[in-house]
Structure 1
C-alpha cells in the first residue's frame, strides 16, 4: 500500500495532488477514495495541517491497481492482502504512468452513475449503483455524499429532457433511502425530529434532504413526513412517531419556534431552492448555495437543539 514518506524531495512534494485532481485522473469518485482509505486502509495519502488529503504518484498507481483488481471481481479484504504482499516484493511489477482516462472509458464515479440514471429515468442503473456503493459505503454516507449530492447537482442544471419528472423521480427515491436510514436501529433513545415539506408542487429538495441528514445523528432521530398528506394526517403521523420537534419547510419563512402542535415544538425553516444555471455559472452558484444552505441548516438545527435542551449538540465534521 502507498505510504507517504516525510523526507520526500522537493520535486516529489510538488507532485502531490488534491483529491479532486486524483479523481479526474483515475475516474474514481472522491467519496470512493475516502472509503478505500477509511474502511479498508487501501491507500494512505498525506494530510495538510488543515486536514486535506494529498496524493503522490505512487498513490495514484495504487488506486489504479485497486481498480484493476476490483474490476476482476476481487473483494476489498483480499485486495488489501495482495497490496501488502506486492509492497514487500523486491521488484514490484511495472506500473504504467497515470494519465487521463481514455474518452471511451465508462465513468466509474458513483455520483456520475446516479446522475445519469436520473436523467435516463433508469431504475436498473440506480439499483446497480447502490449495490456497488454499499460494498464500501454506509447507507448514511451513500445517502449524504452520493444521492443528495446528485439531486443537488441535477437541481442546478438548466435543462434536459424530462427534467421536472427526473427531479421528482430521484427525489422520491432519495426520500425512500432516507426512510431506510431513519428506520435503522440505534436511535431509539434520541428525540424524534420530523421534517415536513410544505413547498407547493415540489418533492423534497436537496436542501430539505440535507437538513434530514444533518439532523439524523446520535442526538436526534430524524423522520421525513410523506408528501401529499392533509393537515390532520400530518398531525396523526407526528403523534404516532412521538415527535418532539416538527420542522416545516416552506417558502419565505425564517427559522423560528412556534407553539406546540401534535405534541411537538413547531419550527419553520426556509431553505433556498437551487435555480437552474449553466456552465461555469452553475459551479459558482452551487458553491454559494452550499455556503448559504449549510448556515441555514445549522441555524435550524441549533434552534431545535436549544428547544429540546440539547444546545451542546455539535454538527457533523466537514469532510475533505
Structure 2
C-alpha cells in the first residue's frame, strides 16, 4: 500500500499541513499511521477522506460538525459561514488585540485559506466597510491583525521548499486585500514577498528573473491586459493573480 507524507498529502489535496494537523488533533477527523520515526503517513483512503472533509468545509459546514456528518448523522449544515462571520465580528467588537489574533489564528489553522478568505474575511470586511465610522475603525483594526497573521504565515512558508515570487498591487489601494491574496498564493506552493506600495505602472525590468504576480482587485482593463501581454512577450515571468 502506498504511503504519503503530510507534505505530499498537503500538496496533492491543496490543504496546509497546519490545517491537516488541526483536523486530526482537535477534531479527530483523521487517523494517519506513523512511521518508525514517528512521522505521519497517509494512504489513499485517508486522501479520499480528506477530500470529503474539504468538500464539507468549503460548502460552509463548521469543521466541528464534519465528524458527525462523516459518521452518517443528519445535521443542520446551513449556518457555517454565517456563524464564523458572527464569531469574528463578536471578537472584533471586544477590541482586544490578543483575542482577535488568537481567533484569526484558530480559523486559519482549521480552514483552507481560499474558503476562509472568500466566505468569512471578505464578507466581514465588506459589511464593516458599509457601516458608520465606528465599524470602519473596527475594520481597520481587523485589517491590522490580518496583515500580522498573513506576514507570519508567509514567513513560515518561505522556510519550506518552493518557488519564489513577488506580488505587486497594480492600481489598487486595498493593501490588506493584497496581503490576503499573498496568503492565497502561498498555499499554492509560492514563497511570496509583497511589494508594500501599489504601483500605477509596475516595472518588471526592476526584478529580473523573479516570478511576478500583479493584483488589481478587479478584472483587468483592456489596457492592462495588453500591457501584461507585452511584458510576457518581452520575456518577463509575470501573471495576474486571480
Question: Over alpha carbons, which structure has the higher Rg?
Answer: 1
If the length of structure 1 is used for normalisation, what is the TM-score? 0.40
If the length of structure 2 is used for normalisation, what is the TM-score? 0.49
